[in-house]
Structure 1
Amino acid sequence: ITQSVPMQEVLQKQIIRLPAVARVFSKIGTAEVATDPMPPSVADTFVILKPRDEWPDPRKTKADLVAELEALVTDVPGNNYEFTQPIQMRFNELISGVRSDVAVKVYGDDLDTLIEVAEELSAAVEATPGAQDVKVEQTTGLPMLVVDPDRAAIARLGLSMAEVQQVVATAIGGTEAGMLYEGDRRAPIVVRLDDGLRNDADRLGDLPIPLPADRADSVRTVPLREVARITIEEGPNQINRENGKRRVVVTANVRGRDLGSFVTEVQRRVASEVDVPPGYWVEYGGTFEQLISATQRLSIVVPLTLVLILGLLFLAFGSGRDALVVFSGVPLALTGGVAALMLRDLPLSISAGVGFIALSGIAVLNGIVMLSFIRQMRLDGMALDDAVRDGALTRFRPVLMTALVASLGFVPMALAVGAGAEVQRPLATVVIGGVLSSTVLTLFVLPALYRLVHKRGESPDSIRNG
């Protein structure tokens, strides 16, 4: 903690230099209520931004701001960074146990082998376009004091291993020597060496080890270095387990591309570039797990929605032919939505899938406005060609106004750059592009389709009954 605090102060001074930043504060380690356990080497730095109208460039996107912040803090040595939102980070931790968008987990028994495989995984992930904040879970680097007894020397002096270990345990870990009572409060009295002595291997070597009474003629004690080798070695920082197996995690955030294609490419690279030993295996987690479950739900919800729309159209018109004519607006609307995503270089995300569901309803609504008017004129006795022509001309303005209202209403979402823009932009883009293409169908193609599926001279009863 004595090292983490100064490093964090340097980092905060660097971040506050950004013109868009109002203030910065940090949380290091675990709070008194340990609901979020973290070691003292891990800190959460919260960056509070100024209102957008106070920024030098109010139109700056979140991705550009993060890139500028990342370039600024890279100059601070000794740190690894991960940029995320507080709520997003907490949800990622609750869902998959990691803070990042993607987690590549390697499982096995030997910690050294796990670290080697994790480094190979990290290289494969970092080479994938779109990968940011790639890092391997810190598992080594903790200094450990190692006292290796010299059994021959111990036996030569008439000592036992238990006696040497007891002295070392008391000096370093401490031994309870009594209790201190203060009113109703009591605290144990622990005897051990001072921190400065316990952390110094050379001075710890002077620790006196009492000799047995039959050996203590002129010398009553012997230094610890005479009966043990004392060194400071690098040991494991932490050993994490999941489902009873040791695991090391490689984490990464994704920027500039969709999560699904990123994970697919990572899986391909790992399969071809990383040699996973027998008895070890790799799993993928993070937000990607929720993407899979959401995609599976949408694969059921979207077809079910389309079937329900078709069923409602049939109930509304009482005609299978008219229901299919109106429903034909859905494919062209979906095509327009996909084309809009491609033009804006946006991924086919879950929010875009929700936009396609909303788009289906809007496209069908325009078709109903047009077709119901044509059917009514035919029921009033107008000829087929005249009804189609007059209906298309009369409903041109209502259909066009409906399309403009829907499109213009989503323009602010399509151009959003603030919080939540990554969810709003795909949804709005799909709706705008789909509404424009479905409007073309409704105004020009739908009357022609109606003319093709219906015959001249149909009676009002045959029109009414489909």
Structure 2
Amino acid sequence: HLARVEGIALFMQPVQDFTVEDRVSRTQYQYTLEDADSEELNRWVPKLVEALQALPELRDVSSDQQDRGMASMLVIDRNTASRMGITPQVIVDTLYDSFGQRQVSTMFTQLNQYRVVLEVMPEFQQGPQSLQFLDVRSLSGGQVPLSVFTQVTETNAPLLVSRQGQFPAVTLSFNLAPGGSLGDAVTAIERATREIDLPPSIRGSFQGTAQAFQTSLANEPWLILAALVTVYIVLGILYESYIHPLTILSTLPSAGVGALLALMLFRTEFSVIALIGIILLIGIVKKNAIMMIDFALEAERKEGKRPEQAIYEACLLRFRPIMMTTMAALLGALPLALSTGVGSELRRPLGIAIVGGLIVSQILTLYTTPVVYLAFDRLARRIGEPRSSTTSRESIDTSSA
């Protein structure tokens, strides 16, 4: 019912046991603007909020800027005050004596001590109208009413001034549109800041989950590349081949494609948790390919079978272990993908990515792995890749006989 009340913007967000955000926000993602000039920052924040609200990738765009407070500003007529022998410092001291709770003395007793604070009577502290009763001492010693050379004006002032890195900052909050991804939202926000020609003095940065997503995207390609290179080197040493490790690594793209298709089908964003699921898929799918290729190479090298016959027997004999490994991982991830309890929205992308990747990779790799194996085997023979020591000894014994 609150959403139907005019003037109320209702935002609802589940409470998580584990969160990446470092500040309280109305929505799931944050984008912070900071500037040394608070007035410039306050002028540009509404413009950026309006631009972000027009983006189809975002929903519930808002800011923590609260600029509807009222403040009284004391404007000094410096020329008049100077003619009367009153300096700005005298005015500041008078106002501080009246409202600043200046400690002027300390009273000591046998049991305690008491600070003496100078201020005006409480009835003269209720509003700006009390300033008209103040007098300021001039250099000549006379008392001059404050209202003679000052004027009180009311203006808007922020109710809250947030700071980040010692600079005034405003945080913009947003949610993703249904079916949208965080990567598309980040790109759209960066494009909007360029289109409105945001001044270079205003610095924008993502916070919380969006910041973690950007950081992970910046480092993840290098980590995945390092993992693939390490796996290739280990498999190359294990199988004494430069070619067949590529046969095993050729099964990985199908897992990534399956995970992305599953996320798109269930309209789930590609988050850091989903990326972790894809990394898990690399190990599971690679293990299935190793079981098949390892058996085929052993049959080809030790038993002297032709590549077609070796990979055919590997598919038949390793089908059950491969299915057992895949089903164990798939059934383990299925509760994550189907859960609806508290905090399930944090773990659901992980389960969907694993289930989708395993299903697609299992369907494709059972048919594509033998084809890739035979193609790379012919390529290895064509470029003259040296065979294993076992195969070499068998060929020598055959020729001698």
Deviation at 1:153, TM superposition (A): 8.4
Deviation at 1:305, TM superposition (A): 1.1
Q: Is 1:137 equivalent to 2:59 in the alignment?
A: no
- The code of the aligned residue for 2:218 comes to Q
Give ranges in structure 2 of 5+ residues lacking alignment: 382-386, 395-401
Deviations 1:383-405 (A, max 9, x none): 65544434322322222222111
- The code of the aligned residue for 1:400 comes to M
Deviations 1:419-461 (A, max 9, x none): 54344222222222222222224433323443455579x9994
1:107·1:248 contact (CA, 8 Å) conserved in 2?
Answer: yes
- Which of 324, 339, 352 pairs up with 2:274? 352
2:27·2:60 contact (CA, 8 Å) conserved in 1?
Answer: no
1:154·1:227 contact (CA, 8 Å) conserved in 2?
Answer: no
Counterpart Cα distance in 2 of 1:296 and 1:214: 69
Q: Is 1:317 equivalent to 2:245 in the alignment?
A: no
- The 1:90/1:199 distance shift into structure 2, 3 A limit, reads farther
Which shifted more, 433-442 or 158-167?
Answer: 158-167
The residue aligned with 2:30 is 102
Deviation at 1:300, TM superposition (A): 0.8
- The 1:237/1:187 distance shift into structure 2, 3 A limit, reads farther
Q: Is 1:113 equivalent to 2:40 in the alignment?
A: yes
> Structure 2 matches for 1:6-155, cutoff 5 A?
72=2, 75=5, 83=13, 85=15, 91-93=21-23, 101-109=29-37, 111-128=38-55, 129-138=57-66, 141-144=69-72, 146=74, 148=76, 152=80
Deviations 1:398-418 (A, max 9, x none): 222221111111001112334
Deviation at 1:280, TM superposition (A): 3.2
The residue aligned with 1:462 is 391
Q: What is the root-mean-square deviation of aligned Cα atoms in Å?
A: 4.3
Q: Is 1:431 equivalent to 2:361 in the alignment?
A: no
- The 1:253/1:431 distance shift into structure 2, 3 A limit, reads same
Counterpart Cα distance in 1 of 2:10 and 2:283: 47
SS in 2 for 1:320: coil
- The 1:222/1:337 distance shift into structure 2, 3 A limit, reads closer
- The 1:390/1:276 distance shift into structure 2, 3 A limit, reads closer
Give ranges in structure 1 of 5+ residues lacking alignment: 1-70, 216-220
Counterpart Cα distance in 2 of 1:107 and 1:153: 35
Counterpart Cα distance in 2 of 1:335 and 1:283: 33
1:351·1:423 contact (CA, 8 Å) conserved in 2?
Answer: yes
2:104·2:116 contact (CA, 8 Å) conserved in 1?
Answer: yes
2:311·2:370 contact (CA, 8 Å) conserved in 1?
Answer: yes
2:35·2:169 contact (CA, 8 Å) conserved in 1?
Answer: yes
Deviations 1:89-132 (A, max 9, x none): 785249xx9997332415253x4333211211111122223243
Q: TM-score, normalised by structure 1?
A: 0.67
Q: TM-score, normalised by structure 2?
A: 0.76
Counterpart Cα distance in 1 of 2:309 and 2:138: 118
The residue aligned with 2:398 is none
The residue aligned with 2:262 is 340
The residue aligned with 2:125 is 198
- The 1:434/1:155 distance shift into structure 2, 3 A limit, reads closer
SS in 2 for 1:304: helix
- The 1:405/1:464 distance shift into structure 2, 3 A limit, reads farther
- Which of 286, 294, 308 pairs up with 1:372? 294
Counterpart Cα distance in 2 of 1:417 and 1:140: 41
Counterpart Cα distance in 2 of 1:290 and 1:72: 33
- The code of the aligned residue for 2:35 comes to Y
Deviation at 1:262, TM superposition (A): 0.8
Greater RCO structure (CA 8 Å; 6+ sep):
2
2:11·2:26 contact (CA, 8 Å) conserved in 1?
Answer: no
Counterpart Cα distance in 2 of 1:406 and 1:251: 40
Counterpart Cα distance in 2 of 1:443 and 1:463: 30
Q: Is 1:172 equivalent to 2:93 in the alignment?
A: no
- The 1:382/1:81 distance shift into structure 2, 3 A limit, reads closer
SS in 1 for 2:269: coil
1:144·1:235 contact (CA, 8 Å) conserved in 2?
Answer: no
In the alignment of these two chains, the number of paired residues is 383
> Structure 2 matches for 1:200-215, cutoff 5 A?
200-207=127-134
Counterpart Cα distance in 2 of 1:350 and 1:90: 11
- The 1:377/1:226 distance shift into structure 2, 3 A limit, reads closer
Which shifted more, 190-199 or 145-154?
Answer: 145-154
Counterpart Cα distance in 2 of 1:464 and 1:194: 108
Identity of aligned residues (%): 22
> Structure 2 matches for 1:176-187, cutoff 5 A?
176-183=103-110, 185-187=112-114
Which shifted more, 230-239 or 327-336?
Answer: 230-239
2:69·2:159 contact (CA, 8 Å) conserved in 1?
Answer: yes
- The 1:147/1:376 distance shift into structure 2, 3 A limit, reads closer
Deviations 1:60-85 (A, max 9, x none): xxxxxxxxxxx737849689978575
The residue aligned with 2:253 is 331
The residue aligned with 1:304 is 226
- The 1:176/1:80 distance shift into structure 2, 3 A limit, reads farther
2:77·2:150 contact (CA, 8 Å) conserved in 1?
Answer: yes
